[in-house]
Amino acid sequence: MKIEYQDHIDDYLLGRMSDEDSKVFEQELKNDDELREQMEFTKDLQTATKSRNEKLAKMREWEDDYEWEDDRRGKRQYLYWISGIAAIFIVGFFLIHNYMGGKEDMMFNPSSIEYSTMRGGGNYENIEKLLVDKNYEDAMKQIEIEETKIAGQRTATDSIADEERRAYDRMLIQEKADELSWMKVYALLGADRRDDALQLLDELRHTEGEYKEKADSLYLIICK
């Protein structure tokens, strides 16, 4: 293998040679066995490199898809668990309310509310703690920070090419946004901003989702 041949071979194979030079080179190939052999080897190398890399790229894409599918399956199962537990609590609440203590007037006290913020993860637990500690102003600030993050995530979904995946991601983001709004209602009530809280509750009770019915009940209780 001669290093001085390689430049010409590469230029020829990669289409970087003029028509005139190509014709001269093809003539040289006919007359020089060593050049021809080196050319064949380079051609095989080019074919093998292309084939390998194209396959690796596809395989990486599939691996990413499998990971996403597994992740989605995991999230779905998680949501089913949460929904199941929530359903048990709701049924239990109505049973207790109707048969045992339904006649008492309900007094609303934001700091006594327990939140189901499991889906929010660590950040929302902080907000929950601030609300329980009656630190409504800080809770409000934290909620606004999270709302900004969510707005960023919402914009980022525009670049997802896969339609199904984009819709799924947007659904999760909307759920997070509703959860934050729900917490914000408590923070506003705690901070004596009743009108703002009612306005937000009114929006929530007209939005399809997990908090629609809860927001409607709370709205009616407060307005009573």
Partner 1 sequence: MAEARLFAKTYSDVAYVEGMYRRDPVMERALHKHCKQYFDENYRGVFFVGDEHKTEIFQESFITLWEKIEKRKIYVEDGILKGKDGSPFTGKLTTYFMGIAKLKFKEWVRDRHTGQDAEDEEKKRKAKDAEIYKEMLYDEGENAMLEIISDCISHMSERCCQILTLFYYKEKSLDDIMLELPTFKSKNALKTEKYKCMENLRKSAQEIYHRYLNA
Interface with partner 1 (CB under 8 A): 1, 3, 6-7, 10, 14, 40-42, 44-56, 58-59, 62, 65-66, 69, 162-164
Rank residues 52 and 206 by Cβ distance to partner 1 and give the closer one: 52
Six-digit token string for 19: 């028509």
Least separation in angstroms between CB 177 and partner 1 = 26
**How many C-beta atoms lie closer than 10 Å to residue 168's C-beta?**
17
Helix, coil or strand: residue 174: helix
Rank residues 169 and 202 by Cβ distance to partner 1 and give the closer one: 169
Six-digit token string for 78: 């998680």
Least separation in angstroms between CB 166 and partner 1 = 12
Rank residues 46 and 157 by Cβ distance to partner 1 and give the closer one: 46
Listed in sequence order, the residues at least 6 apart from 186 whose beta carbon sits closer than 8 Å to its beta carbon are: 110, 113, 115, 131, 139
Rank residues 51 and 199 by Cβ distance to partner 1 and give the closer one: 51
Six-digit token string for 217: 């009940």
Q: What angle do CA 180, 182, 184 make, to 5 degrees?
A: 70
Least separation in angstroms between CB 44 and partner 1 = 5
Six-digit token string for 148: 């900004």
Six-digit token string for 86: 């929530």
Least separation in angstroms between CB 189 and partner 1 = 44
Least separation in angstroms between CB 1 and partner 1 = 6
Rank residues 63 and 144 by Cβ distance to partner 1 and give the closer one: 63
Q: Give phi and psi for 42, each to the nearest 5.
A: -65, -40
Length of the chain: 224
